[in-house]
Amino acid sequence: MADAEHNSIYGPVDSWRLGRSLGVDVLCVDSICSFECVYCQLGKINRVTSERAVYVPTEKVISDLRNADWQSADVITFSGSGEPTLAANLGEIITAIRDLTGKPIAILTNSTLLGDAIVRAEAGLADRVYCKLDAWSEDSLRRVDRPAAGVSLGSIVSGIRQFRKEYKGFLGIQTMLLTRPADADIERLAELYRVIGPDEIELNIPLRPIPSEWVLESRGNITGRPEGMHVLKTMEPSEAGEIGSRIAGLTGIRVITPFDRPPQN
């Protein structure tokens, strides 16, 4: 059961893609994910797993929500301390939050569990789903996302494709680029986007500071470089914009980056 001091609701925070976003953390007992991404803003994933379980009771999430400033949020977003689809009560929580608030609901997922029909059905209750796809090869998946055993690029892409066929809401693909991919790799990535057919592609580079251990506060928007945190060396924002333009040309799909718009205060 979640520690009483670990609130499952955080924010609202300013999101470059969603506006004022109230975060829902259905894993806040620990950092729990099926990836150990080298750029993870949580710092360290303490439980690497692909097994679903109930980590935070639905009743606690709703209690925390009632005490939060949910009225000022544009959207309620499932993200937080890892991969939200690992919560076996995800669908129940989405339904309860929708009944209470009537707000649009979004999920940020790393896509690793979308091969499971139950997970697809529960994620499909959200109005907007953003699926991570950082890799164009098994090697790049292992180097950047460092998945749990049994997770492959093929299983990820297959799961997203099946979800795309069944889902009636808005589907975005999120890609984090650390260094500039080779031209051939950009073309491979573009082909995966074409196969999936999302409504939008979002390219980003890792600019957020990374703690050495799991820090609950890092699920929000930490700015600057607090003591004990580091920032990865990555490509320039202009390079991400150039790659985005090329991918848009190759796919015919809208591509956005956080550098396309003025920074938020």
Q: Report domain extents, the chain.
A: 9-260
Q: Count CB neighbours of 69 within 10 A.
A: 11
C-beta of residue 235 within 8 angstroms of C-beta of residue 177: yes
> Over the Cα atoms of the chain, what is R_g?
17
The model's pLDDT over 22-41, given as tens digits with 9 standing for 90+, comes to: 999 999 999 999 999 999 98
Beta strands in 16-141 (DSSP E): 19-24, 32-33, 47-48, 75-78, 105-109, 128-132
Sheet with strand 128-132: strands edge to edge? 9-15, 19-24, 75-78, 105-109, 128-132, 170-176, 200-204, 255-256
The model's pLDDT over 103-145, given as tens digits with 9 standing for 90+, comes to: 999 999 999 999 999 999 999 999 999 999 999 999 999 999 9
179 vs 56: CA distance, rounded Å = 36
Task: Decide: pTM greater than 0.85.
Answer: yes
Q: CA distances (Å), 67 to each of 5, 8, 10, 63, 259, in order?
A: 14, 11, 11, 7, 34
Instruction: For the chain, 265 residues long, give each residue's pLDDT as a single digit of tens.
Output: 344 468 999 999 888 788 899 999 999 999 999 999 999 989 899 999 999 999 999 999 999 999 999 999 999 999 999 999 999 999 999 999 999 999 999 999 999 999 999 999 999 999 999 999 999 999 999 999 999 999 999 999 999 999 999 999 999 999 999 999 999 999 999 999 999 999 999 999 998 888 888 877 777 665 555 566 778 888 889 999 999 999 999 999 999 998 765 444 3
Q: Count CB neighbours of 102 within 10 A.
A: 7
At the top level of CATH, the class of 9-260 is: alpha beta
